[in-house]
Amino acid sequence: MKKINSDIKNGEFERVYLLTGSEQYLRSYYKKKLVEAACKDADKMNISEFDGKGISVREIIDLADTVPFFARYRTITITGSGFFKGSADDELVEYMSEIPPDTIIIFDEDKTDARSRLYKAVAKNGYCAKLDTPDSTQLYKWIAGILAAHGKKIRRNTLEFLIERVGTDMAAIKNELDKLVDYSGDREEITSQDISDICSLHLESAVYAMIDAITDKDRDRAMRLYDGFLKNKESPYTILKLLSRQFSLLYQTKQLSVHTHDANAIGKVIGLYPSITRNYIARSDRMSLDYWRAAVESCVETAYNIQTGKISQELGVELIIIRSCL
């Protein structure tokens, strides 16, 4: 990101960029910033956008070879092409070293293969940026910065509560921050109550709440939460996959917590922020390792029975809840 920020600040650009990684918000953000910085107020004739698979390589090259209209640069953005997942067109690979100095091509791809010829060609002739969800320190600074721009403050424990509730997807967080700014009005501080009042509960967090009910042996509450998912048109199979993920994380946490309760150390292994990991440690300690293993195995068995037509999705998840509450 430092490289792209520097290019934008200095107004000097690579001929080609590849923005890849799991964080769509960052990819979209930097794609937009690169186009805005390169084209500024230039006519939209100098901005071309391609989206999806089946994009014509010849059309891209023809556009790239076209001199920009009364402007310094022409930009071409290519999103979700799939060019970097397998063998790319030879002509496109070779063209990466022939892009004119007044053209900037920007690829936006969620998944890429660094071994592919096109990836290597972009890396050699331009810049490849891996944009994944930032670590907790960076994410907290980003959130605090957005709120500060609106004259708002947030305490660290409140910020952690926000992440627990809405998840780590940056686009989702930005949407909730906009709601919080409006909701808090003239008040300077964003509170936990604001978050509870106005922020949408992320589906995975909601499933975690259902697991809370399950481990409390509160079958009625767990079933009410499940019924709520169904009323909101959530797929039972999606709920099953999230249950399986949560049970797996709790099983791993229980295994690791035998040796340490350090949230930072465990979080690095299971891929969660320390503030969230502390909750997993506390929750995993409530049940035995055998309990969590059995819960994971139950999800695997249920998924198999659903796929082979032995049981319906809705009933399969219901049986997992009932068994886990015993």
pLDDT digits 0-9 by tens, 237-293: 999 999 999 999 999 999 999 889 999 899 989 988 888 899 899 999 999 999 999
pTM score of the predicted model:
0.74
Residues 130 and 20: beta-carbon distance below 8 Å: yes
Structure tokens at 200: 């949408």
CATH 1.20.272.10 matches 203-324: yes
Residues forming beta bridges with residue 79, ordered by sequence position: 51, 108
| pLDDT for the residue numbered 197 | 92
Reply yes or no on whether the pLDDT at 20 is more than 70: yes
| pLDDT for the residue numbered 321 | 95
Residues 244 and 296: beta-carbon distance below 8 Å: yes
pLDDT average, residue stretch 1-29: 93
pLDDT tens, 180-231? 999 999 999 999 999 999 998 888 888 988 999 999 999 999 999 999 899 8
Most distant CA pair in the chain: distance in Å?
73
Residues 85 and 112: beta-carbon distance below 8 Å: yes
Residues 17 and 127: beta-carbon distance below 8 Å: yes
Structure tokens at 49: 């956008």
| pLDDT for the residue numbered 326 | 84
| pLDDT for the residue numbered 43 | 66
| pLDDT for the residue numbered 85 | 85
Distance CA 306, CA 227 (A): 19
| pLDDT for the residue numbered 153 | 95
Backbone angles phi, psi at 47, to 5 degrees: -120, 120
How do the domains of the chain map onto residue ranges? Answer: 2-130, 136-154+170-198, 203-324
pLDDT tens, 64-97? 999 998 889 999 999 999 899 877 789 999 999 9
pLDDT tens, 110-126? 989 999 999 999 999 99
pLDDT average, residue stretch 142-161: 94
CATH 2.40.30.10 matches 2-130: no
